[in-house]
Amino acid sequence: MLRRTWFLLLLAGCTSSGPEADLQYIKQARSLGAEWAMVNQQAAEGKLTGAYVASMHRWLRDGLQTSEQSLSQPDSPYGNEIRALLASGDDASPDRLNAHVSKLKQIEDQLESA
């Protein structure tokens, strides 16, 4: 009986999909979007070199692309927000980026409280 219960739990973990399975990617995208906003804010204040900013933009986009490609439900509200971040220009305003980050945070909070 214990073996069967363990197997069913393992199987349930492997087959989970949907928003709950995507929560880790939502969190990752939110964090990357917030970091992007911070980089752009500090760049606008002249606190970062151009080379550093360009490198960070590449790294942040790579991470966002990985998050977007890993979603089990890419055509979801959170998938749309991640794609909106990716569609933003490297020099997007921190406010614009943070608007997408805020929407991802709301989705994240809803999933965690469910």
> Would you say residue 27 lies in a domain?
yes
- The structure's pTM equals 0.85
> Would you say residue 53 lies in a domain?
yes
pLDDT tens, residue by residue, 40-98? 999 999 999 999 999 999 999 999 999 999 999 999 999 999 999 999 999 999 999 99
Residue with tokens 């998938």: 79
The number of folded domains in the chain is 1
pLDDT at 2 over 90: no
Position 4 scores a pLDDT of 52
> Would you say residue 12 lies in a domain?
no
How confident is residue 101, by pLDDT bands cut at 50, 70 and 90? very high
> Would you say residue 90 lies in a domain?
yes
Query: Residue 48's domain spans which residues?
Result: 18-113
> Would you say residue 24 lies in a domain?
yes
Residue with tokens 């070199």: 49
- Output the six-digit token pair for 97: 């980026």
> Would you say residue 109 lies in a domain?
yes
- Output the six-digit token pair for 23: 């929560």
Please choose, from the candidates 68, 57, 88, 74, the residue with its C-alpha nearest in 3D space to the C-alpha of residue 25. 68
> Would you say residue 5 lies in a domain?
no
Helix runs in 1-114, H state only: 2-15, 19-44, 50-70, 77-87, 94-113
Residue with tokens 């906003």: 37
How confident is residue 5, by pLDDT bands cut at 50, 70 and 90? very low
Measuring CA to CA, how many Å separate 22 from each of 25, 61, 70, 81? 5, 18, 8, 13
CA distance 56 to 58: 5
> Would you say residue 2 lies in a domain?
no
